[in-house]
Structure 1
Amino acid sequence: MILPIVAYGDPVLRKVAKDIDSEYPKLDELINNMWDTMYNAHGVGLAAPQVGLPIRMFVIDTTPFADDEDLTQEEQKQLDGFKKVFINAKIEEENGKEWDFSEGCLSIPDIREDVSRKAEIVISYLDEDFKSHKETYDGLLARVIQHEYDHIEGILFTDKLSSLKKRLLKSRLEKISKGKINADYKMRFPDIKKRR
């Protein structure tokens, strides 16, 4: 089932999400719904807060990035078929030189900006079977994971922009929260909900 994606301005996007355990109600169904929702919106990652749930879970499938001709064959291979569920994730380390990349977000449609992030991360997490993992990622994989991880920490990519960029985007962000945007996927807008 395709769920509505929560738009910029909804308080759930600002909450530090809570850990869950294997007894979380209808977890398999939620994971399947998140995949459906993400693919429907042509995303490569989706965090639970983006569907209104303040829990520490996100899904990632970087396969669409594998077609990027600017990447090396090794990078393309790394991204192709990378599909994972991250539950109760914790970034243990961020290493390497920071680099800029144009990021967007399904909760903030039609806005893309260069964001600076560290090149490598070490992350511990549970998969959908609640098996424990600790892994190191770099490059675009690390970036996608960092972006989704920020969601479960209540952080948006726009928070990482300069104060000048934030001021320039302010009115566009306000329009998004009021639903004055044409997204080609189902969304839930915080400032529309309040008026009912």
Structure 2
Amino acid sequence: MSIPHDRPRTTDRRVRVQGAPVDSYPALPPEAGRGSVRRITVVGEEILNRPCREVTRFGTAELSALIDDMFLTMYVADGAGLAANQVGVDLRLFVYDCPDDHGIRHVGHLINPVLDQPDADHRRLIDDVEGCLSVPGAAMAVPRTDRAVARGFDKDGNPLVIEGMGYFARCLQHETDHLLGHTYLDRLSKRDRRDALRQMDDRYEDVLARREVKAAGLGH
């Protein structure tokens, strides 16, 4: 998921890593410092249109390296979240570095996520602008619930429960959708979908150029 230009990243000192508050945290997550940039898949590619496989082996060097690469790739693309199938890997895993609506920065990864679905009496749908790194340059209003709880595991197999409000709730829903084989375009009307794809066509080259410049600045 990408953050619209009119929604700046929080500069607040409050940070939650893997759902737990920390006293301080660097602007560039440590994982990104260890990672390599991978190509981001683009809407229309088959891997984005089918459910991903569950992760069954935890604590491996390969899994850690994938997470590191995903963090750096997300950062280079100015993303707030990135799913594994967006870097061509068919696994139920996403990473995130996303602000919520209360100035708190949320950083972490989640494996084999499952969203708790709020009942109808407690569900509040909010329309807000949303972008996707696999639909580069496009942004559209998408209805999402204003609260989300995602359950899953960390890379060592430890259980996690991550709760999000506002924009971070949107991020959790967006990335879980990816792992089910959906992009946010699937939640749009046919007319809005066409509009989003036109935006992507118009801005695609500029977005990729910005990513190359940022990657080069990091020595990649």
TM-score w.r.t. the length of structure 2 is: 0.71
Residue in structure 1 matched with residue 169 of structure 2 by the alignment: 142
- 1:17 equivalent among 42, 52, 66: 52
- 2:190 equivalent among 150, 155, 163: 163
* Counterparts of residues 25-174 of structure 1 (less than 5 Å): 26-62=62-98, 65=99, 71=101, 75-76=102-103, 78=104, 80=105, 82-94=106-118, 95-171=122-198
Shift >6 Å, 4+ stretches:
none
Displacement of 1:170: 4.6
Displacement of 1:135: 3.9
Deviations 1:24-71, CA, capped at 9 Å, x for gaps: 661111111111111111111110000001110000011xx47xxxx5
Contact 1:93 1:123 in 2 (8 A): no
**Greater RCO, CA 8 A, separation 6+:** 1
Displacement of 1:159: 1.1
Contact 1:41 1:106 in 2 (8 A): yes
Q: Give SS of 1:35's match.
A: helix
Contact 1:57 1:88 in 2 (8 A): yes
Distance (whole Å) between structure 1 residues aligned to residue 140 and residue 194 of structure 2: 13
Change (3 A) 1:99 1:160: same
Deviations 1:124-147, CA, capped at 9 Å, x for gaps: 100122101234322111111111
Distance (whole Å) between structure 2 residues aligned to residue 105 and residue 135 of structure 1: 21
Question: Identity of paired residues, percent?
Answer: 29
Moved more, 37-46 or 132-141: 132-141
Q: Structure 1: where are the runs of 5+ without partners?
A: 187-196
Q: Give SS of 1:101's match.
A: strand
Distance (whole Å) between structure 2 residues aligned to residue 135 and residue 172 of structure 1: 32
Distance (whole Å) between structure 1 residues aligned to residue 47 and residue 115 of structure 2: 21
Contact 2:52 2:92 in 1 (8 A): yes
Distance (whole Å) between structure 1 residues aligned to residue 195 and residue 165 of structure 2: 31
Residue in structure 1 matched with residue 211 of structure 2 by the alignment: 185
Identify, as 1 or 2, the structure richer in strand.
Answer: 1
